[in-house]
Homo-oligomer: A and B are copies of this chain.
Amino acid sequence: MVSNMKMTPLITSAVMHFGEMGSRWGFNRTVGQMLALIALNEDPITAQEIADALNISRGNVSMGLKELQSWRLIKTQIVPGERKDFFVPAGSIWELANRVFEERKKREIDPTLSLLRDLLLDTPSNSNEEHAQQTLAEIHDLLESVTAWSQELQTLGPEKLNTLMKLGASVGRILEFKDKLVPGKTTAN
């Protein structure tokens, strides 16, 4: 089968870069390249086209597509009259970024939170363990805060995030007024 994939220089450098970065973002090179290719391409593309465009084995493409689907970053699109699957991004850039973020949280934070909760139940047996547990508690609290906060941001969506962002340094000052604004929520400080 002959592919009709373009891969102009612009696309190529983006795809290659996403491949390089892929490993830092939680997947491997080819998976990163595949994601870029699908996200940047105007039309849905097939597994075979991906294999041709990236010059990687068909089997590898199949694995990669499975992984991208498990991350919920791509989905198949039914093209009437076509037997094979066509792939497209599974949402807007904001949604995709959110999913990557969520998935990474699941891998990078959740297991630690779970372990920390367990370890904090133990009774320290000496001064050194007491100190260790104290530190673990701090880590636990920090991770919980970050987790909760990031969830908050996700529900806000990109526009509100932007508004918040432009507020910039004044966020700190706003906090001082919060009691006037939201009377019910009196936070101890």
Contacts and interface: CB of A to CB of B under 8 A. Distances in A.
Copy count, this protein chain: 2
Interface residues of A, number: 74
A153 to B, nearest CB: 8
B142 A156 contact: no
A155 B171 CA distance: 11
Contact of A10 (B26, B119, B169): B119
Interface string A105-119: 001100110010001
Interface in A130-173: 131-133, 135-136, 138-139, 142, 145-146, 148-149, 152-153, 155-156, 158-173
A97 interface: yes
Contacts of A178: 163, 167, 174
Interface string A19-56: 00100111000000000000111110000000000000
A6 interface: yes
A136 B12 CA distance: 13
A168 B152 contact: yes
A115 B14 contact: yes
A39 B21 CA distance: 29
28 contacts: A6-B128, A10-B132, A13-B119, A14-B119, A14-B136, A24-B107, A40-B135, A40-B136, A41-B131, A41-B132, A42-B128, A93-B139, A93-B142, A97-B146, A152-B165, A152-B169, A155-B169, A156-B172, A160-B175, A164-B175, A167-B178, A167-B185, A170-B182, A170-B189, A173-B182, A174-B178, A177-B181, A181-B181
